[in-house]
Homo-oligomer: A and B are copies of this chain.
Amino acid sequence: MTVKNQAIEYLIIDWGTTNFRAFALDNQGQVQDKKELGLGLLQVEDADFANALQGVLANWLNNYQSLPIFMAGMVGSAQGWVNVDYAATPVNNRGLINNAYRFELPWGALATIIPGVSHQAKNGVYDVMRGEEVQLFGLAKLTQSASLTAVMPGTHSKHAVLDNGKMTEFASFMTGELFSVISQHTILGRGLPKQIDNQDAFLRGVTESKTEKLTSALFAARTHRLFNNIQESDVYDYLSGLLIGYELNNLANNLTNNPVYLVGGKGLCARYQTACDALSISAIYMNGDECFLAGMADLISELSNV
């Protein structure tokens, strides 16, 4: 069904490797409609992103050809539509805009891709993000804080520091992806029955992540089964606790802002909240979508001042 609402003025799109989410906004910046599809960048046939996008929009909005589109996420990567150069830390809102990539879509509307951010850590190794930078600036807007620390859980979880309106540093942790491959492909997950939620097992993992080297601590997911210290049905929660705890220990030792914000989906952030409680990290949950939209709205208003 095509939306007839002529009040729609622009579109915001979060286009990632496995997901596509589009928001239709009116001239007040209010979301009038949204669309979520499994049309990740990897699913786009022949990498013909313009065609895929037009297909979605034509079925959704009758005035799509006149709507400017603002995009962020992996759509601006080498695997995406255009490989947009990273903005380097320290970076503020304006720095993102200065590095944004603008181009005309085949149907005449203007597209803008917000760049990701790169950070060179003390040891000279680079880290990168695409999409979370928008959430971070949105979080700053929503909380009216120019200095804060955010944890953005996910496949590649990010810890980012905003200092006086500039993102000064961040680090990635492969927590989500490692949980996935370790539980699916190693001996630790082999031959397990259906897994159930067990907060005690999760907290045990969090606690035991503090005392051991990770590649050694992980082996306990096997020995705890052998010695009946955890149930076979609780192994995933124990592993999840180990990996999330290991990630957060780092934060606990280097905390510059208190509390930290947990930004993302509700379920995963609830796990992080539980782990933060156990590690005495004061944490506040903020909805990831709301941060993303607030960040994009802010960037768009700055763009219109360019």
**CB-based contact A172/B216 at 8 Å:** yes
**CB-based contact A172/B219 at 8 Å:** yes
Is A132 in contact with chain B by the CB < 8 A criterion?
Answer: no
Residues of B within 8 A of A175 (CB): 215
CA of A171 to CA of B218 in the docked complex: distance in angstroms?
11
**CB-based contact B214/A243 at 8 Å:** no
Residues of B within 8 A of A227 (CB): 118, 126
**CB-based contact B125/A220 at 8 Å:** yes
Interface centre among A174, A177, A182 (most CB of B within 10 A): A174
Chain A, range 107-160, C-beta contacts under 8 Å to B: 118, 121-123, 125-128, 156
Is A211 in contact with chain B by the CB < 8 A criterion?
Answer: yes
Q: A125-B220, A125-B224, A181-B185 are known contacts. Are A173 and B215 too (CB-CB below 8 A)?
A: yes
Residues of B within 8 A of A9 (CB): none
Residues of B within 8 A of A171 (CB): 216
Residue in contact with A123 in the complex, picked from B121, B212, B226, CB distance below 8 Å: B212
Q: Across the two chains, which residue of chain B brings its CB closest to A250?
A: B213
Q: Across the two chains, which residue of chain B brings its CB closest to A17?
A: B187
The smallest beta-carbon distance between A204 and chain B, in angstroms, is: 10
Is A33 in contact with chain B by the CB < 8 A criterion?
Answer: no
Chain A, range 225-239, C-beta contacts under 8 Å to B: 226-227, 229
Is A178 in contact with chain B by the CB < 8 A criterion?
Answer: yes
Q: A186-B174, A212-B123, A212-B125 are known contacts. Are A219 and B156 too (CB-CB below 8 A)?
A: yes
Residues of B within 8 A of A222 (CB): 128
CA of A243 to CA of B216 in the docked complex: distance in angstroms?
11
Residues of B within 8 A of A123 (CB): 208, 211-212
Is A247 in contact with chain B by the CB < 8 A criterion?
Answer: yes
Residues of B within 8 A of A128 (CB): 222-223, 226
Q: A185-B185, A186-B181 are known contacts. Are A218 and B174 too (CB-CB below 8 A)?
A: yes
Residues of B within 8 A of A178 (CB): 182, 186, 215, 218
10 A-B pairs within 8 Å (CB atoms) are namely A118-B223, A118-B227, A122-B211, A123-B211, A126-B220, A126-B227, A128-B222, A172-B219, A174-B215, A184-B185
Add 9 more A-B contacts to A118-B223, A174-B219, A213-B246 (CB < 8 A): A78-B226, A123-B212, A125-B212, A126-B223, A126-B224, A156-B219, A178-B182, A178-B186, A214-B246
